[in-house]
Amino acid sequence: MNISVIGTGYVGLVTGTCFAEMGHNVICVDIDEVKISNLKKGIMPIYEPGLEEMVVKNASENRLHFTTDIKHAAEKSTIHFIAVGTPPGADDAADLQFVQAVASQLGQTITADYNIIVDKSTVPVGTADKVSTIISQEFNKRDFSGEFDIVSNPEFLKEGTAIDDFMNPDRVIIGADSDRSRRLMHNLYAPFSPSHDCILIMGIRGAEMTKYASNAMLATKISFMNEIAELCEKLDVDIEDVRLGMGSDTRIGYEFIYPGCGYGGSCFPKDVKALERMAVENDVPSHVLNAVESRNQRQKERLFVKIRQFYNGNVTGKTFCLWGLAFKPGTDDMREAPSLQIITDLVNAGAKIQAYDPVAKETASIDIPDEWLADGRITIMDDQYQALESSDALILATEWKQFRNPDFNYIKEKLNDPVIFDGRNQYDPQLMADLGISYSGIGRSNQL
């Protein structure tokens, strides 16, 4: 098939690349000339394991192309994926200006007798209707008689494993209202699951809602577990025992019940807020969603509370080694990262930070205030152990694999105060006690 993907951010680039990998002809479009120029050279705008190799391979084999010319892409394609950003607006509702702009451009430029326009971006219920209206209006302006269908096809990619998620999906949601679009979209995705049919066909509005409801449920599990973890600290209960006991119940499972210093990223925070806004607009109380968001904000602040308590309320002049900046391992994404809250709280309290992350150094430098980097209030190091030099304590904010089994004797030797604040519960409190290292995790017993 001939496919255009408008937007070469995280979702669009992975989507276009994986379709090309399966043999389709794909044109990826973006208004960012520098990004397109770099992609043609094999330079990625994001870090995602396996993506660079797949982009270079398919571009060299002439199946994957990059351009800033949406007219060219629209004329050469019959299936058009809209994969542009839907950032939260001032009222936390999803901002659809970029989606609507692309819809207008497609309506002005597509030429095939029949086209499918696919909403790949995360969009509120009813967006497909708006896109359809815009395209119809543009068709009428130029007296174009072509037919089209709108499809909702939300993405369920996890940063760090996005290639495998796309190539081996656990489910593909297709919201479509015509037999023709259902058939073509099913044919497009069928090769990704040859051993079993994981394609779920439903109405457009149902597909739009499924994306938001899925992310909100996962965020709810995280916030619930974080709240239980704080209660466990008060009751001298080890949350790890509770987690294992809960997860063994197949109705609950082990996924997304790891307590920590809060969730971040481009999806959960934005989508929970957008779903809250949809509830408000439709006069539906959103007690659960409000609680999920407020608990997550509290959780991002928990490590600072623990640190301040350890130092009797005064961290002025202290230097902290911070391991992990990205919101999760496997990505350089700093959006809504808990590390940013930790950094802000510590710097505002008069402390300094020496941070290290395997891949997020450049993206973190964009999100951290320039003056903090310039005057040394935060320094991003090139080595995890280098960040320990002259530090008072160690903070773990992102559970990269290389942080899981560090040299604890070296850590103890280098820290002025041998203490670890573990925001991801990676270390055994008993082992830390045996090594003579003070330890504070999230909901763990046998800690300071």
**Strands of the 319-323 sheet, one edge to the other:** 378-380, 352-356, 319-323, 393-396, 419-422, 438-440
Q: Following CA atoms 94, 95, 99, 102 in sequence, which dihedral angle do they give, to the nearest 10 degrees? A: -170
Per DSSP, what are the bridge partners of residue 380?
355
CA–CA separation, 431 and 422 (whole Å): 13
Task: Mark residue 348 as left, alpha or beta (left: phi above 0; alpha: psi -120 to 50; beta: remaining).
Answer: alpha
Are the CB atoms for 253 and 247 separated by under 8 Å? yes
CA 154 remoteness from chain centre: 14
CA–CA separation, 384 and 382 (whole Å): 7
Among 18, 261, 267, 321, the active-site one is: 267
Residue among 126, 96, 103, 102 nearest 8 (CA): 102
The amino acid sitting at 345 is D
Give the number of other Cβ atoms within 10 Å of residue 171's Cβ.
Answer: 11
How large is the angle between the packed helices 127-141 and 204-235, nearest 10 degrees? 150
User: Which residues make Cβ contacts (< 8 Å) with residue 33, sequence separation at least 6?
Assistant: 68
Helix (H/G/I), strand (E/B), else coil: 203: coil
CA–CA separation, 205 and 130 (whole Å): 12
CA–CA separation, 10 and 6 (whole Å): 12
**Which whole-number Å values give the CA distances from 260 to 224, 238, 264, in the listed order?**
11, 14, 11
Give the number of other Cβ atoms within 10 Å of residue 399's Cβ.
Answer: 18
How large is the angle between the packed helices 204-235 and 239-247, nearest 10 degrees? 140
Per DSSP, what are the bridge partners of residue 82?
6, 119
Q: Active-site residue 18, yes or no?
A: no
User: Which residues make Cβ contacts (< 8 Å) with residue 232, sequence separation at least 6?
Assistant: 238, 239, 242, 443, 445
By annotation, the residues acting in catalysis are 267
